[in-house]
Structure 1
Amino acid sequence: MSDIERRLADIMLAKLRERDASSGPDDLTRPIADLDLDSLDLVELHQQIESELQVKGDLRETAGFAFLDDFSTYFMKLASRG
């Protein structure tokens, strides 16, 4: 796992643990609909990732993601562009 992947996982796990302290790495591959996250949580997650990685994403795009690992894939691409 690269440094960026680890940072993304840490950010996403922190967001999940705000709702459920027992959340773990396996939850990162679950459908968002199965997690206790609302649209505000997803916007906050998006903004936290942007801030951490110093990139700018498109909220309209991430709003349609079905899985948390979609965030990871999307933001990895943005971060690799520099």
Structure 2
Amino acid sequence: MTDIERRVADIMLAKLRQRDPSLGPDDLARPISDLDLDSLDLIELHQQLESGLQVKADPTETAGFAFLDEFSGYFVKLAGRG
């Protein structure tokens, strides 16, 4: 795992654990619908990833993601460009 991938995973886990402290790294590949995240949670996750990685992401792209690993892949790619 690269440094950027680890940072993305840490940010995402921090957000997920606000909902359910028992969630772990294996849950980062689960469908968003399985994790009881609502649209506000997803907006907050998007913002936390932007802030933590110091990138600007397109919210219309992340709005269509069905799996958390789509979020991580997208933000890893964005952060890797900088």
Shorter chain as denominator, the TM-score bin is over 0.9
Report the alpha carbon displacement of residue 40 of structure 1 after superposing the two structures with TM.
0.4
Aligned partner of 1:46 in structure 2 is 46
Aligned partner of 2:71 in structure 1 is 71
| Alpha-carbon RMSD | 0.7
- Return the alpha-carbon distance in structure 2 between the equivalents of residues 80 and 14 of structure 1: 21
Q: TM-score, normalised by structure 1?
A: 0.96
Greater RCO between the two (CA within 8 Å, min separation 6)? Answer: 2
Percent same amino acid at aligned positions? Answer: 79
Q: TM-score, normalised by structure 2?
A: 0.96
Aligned partner of 1:62 in structure 2 is 62
Task: Give unmatched runs, 5+ long, in structure 1.
Answer: none
Runs in 1 of length 4+ with deviation above 4 angstroms? Answer: none
CA contact (8 A) 2:4 2:80 kept: no
- Report how many aligned residue pairs link the two structures: 82
Report the alpha carbon displacement of residue 60 of structure 1 after superposing the two structures with TM.
0.7
